[in-house]
């Protein structure tokens, strides 16, 4: 029983790291750009408890794709609302990418210097958990780039596209949200973001010559 649950248990630290880094990135960018809303709401922290969305966490555990509790911002506090909202939206994704790169380098270091440890059972669990951190962060990055409310990609295309794009999302927001839920429930979301996730993971491992 424990053996079958172990892969899921090893995913938990990766998920907690990924969502905490992502939401902290949003909060930090917003505060730096003049909006203290995330600070007042206790979101300027790496504490995963502050960022967990129970349903999103379950989806991450069960199907590998999910979400955290969104960081609330007030664009009225920004000097340039359109530009700054774009920066805040990109901040979480960027933090996930940097974390994936950092843990790829950690894996390279472990593989290069602790081979005798890696052949042990504990070593295999360790490398599996480190790999999960890389992959979960890339999953969160790609998933959040989708231009679907309430994901970051939705804010990005609105900031770039202007009022025409904003009106489109306002008109079809509910339909798009239902579509996202169906993709998650049926598992078809994996067919969409799976290839870029594995492609970027393999790219990082290749350029850093991990294995």
pLDDT, tens digit, 9 for 90 and up, residues 134-192: 999 999 999 999 888 878 988 888 888 777 777 776 776 778 778 877 887 777 888 88
Q: Please say if 173 is a catalytic residue.
A: no
Q: What is the dihedral of CA 146, 147, 152, 154, to 10 degrees?
A: -170
10 Å CB burial of residue 205 (0-12, 13-18, 19+) is middle
Residue 10 has pLDDT above 60, yes or no: yes
Instruction: Considering the candidates 16, 23, 90, 103, report the single residue annotated as catalytic.
Output: 23
Residue 171, pLDDT score: 76
- pLDDT tier for residue 3 given thresholds of 50, 70 and 90: low
Residue 5 has pLDDT above 80, yes or no: no
DSSP assignment letter at 49? G
Residue 94, pLDDT score: 97
Entry pTM? 0.89
The tokens describing 15, both together, are: 């998920």
CB atoms within 10 A of CB 188: 10
| Residues whose CB is less than 8 angstroms from the CB of residue 14 and which lie 6 or more positions away in sequence, other chains included | 129, 132, 133, 135, 136, 137
CB 25 within 8 A of CB 94: yes
The tens digit of pLDDT for each residue in 44-61 reads: 999 999 998 888 888 777
DSSP assignment letter at 51? T
The tens digit of pLDDT for each residue in 19-49 reads: 999 999 999 999 999 999 999 999 999 999 9
- For the chain, the average pLDDT equals 88
Beta strands in 118-189 (DSSP E): none
Residue 183 vs residue 196, higher pLDDT = 196
- pLDDT tier for residue 7 given thresholds of 50, 70 and 90: confident
Query: What is the C-alpha separation between 55 and 80, in angstroms, rounded?
Result: 34
Place of tokens 């309430």: 150
Residue 4, pLDDT score: 60
Residue 24, pLDDT score: 97
| Residues whose CB is less than 8 angstroms from the CB of residue 37 and which lie 6 or more positions away in sequence, other chains included | 30, 72, 73, 74, 77
Q: What percentage of the chain carries pLDDT values higher than 90?
A: 53
């Amino acid at each position: 029983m424990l053996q079958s649950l172990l892969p899921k248990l090893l995913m938990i630290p990766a998920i907690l790291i990924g969502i905490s880094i992502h939401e902290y990135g949003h909060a930090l960018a917003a505060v730096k750009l003049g909006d203290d809303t995330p600070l007042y709401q206790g979101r300027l922290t790496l504490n995963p408890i502050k960022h967990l969305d129970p349903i999103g966490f379950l989806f991450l555990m069960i199907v590998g794709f999910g979400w955290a509790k969104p960081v609330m911002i007030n664009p009225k506090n920004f000097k340039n609302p359109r530009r700054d909202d774009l920066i805040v939206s990109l901040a979480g994704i960027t933090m996930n990418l940097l974390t994936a790169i950092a843990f790829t380098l950690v894996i390279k270091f472990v593989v290069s210097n602790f081979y005798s440890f890696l052949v042990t059972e504990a070593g295999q669990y360790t490398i599996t958990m480190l790999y999960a951190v890389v992959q979960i962060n890339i999953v969160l990055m790609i998933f959040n780039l989708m231009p679907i409310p309430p994901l970051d990609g939705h804010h990005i295309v609105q900031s770039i596209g202007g009022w025409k794009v904003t009106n489109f999302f306002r008109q079809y927001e509910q339909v798009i949200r239902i579509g996202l839920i169906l993709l998650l429930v049926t598992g078809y979301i994996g067919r969409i973001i799976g290839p870029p996730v594995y492609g970027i993971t393999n790219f990082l491992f290749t350029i850093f010559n991990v294995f």
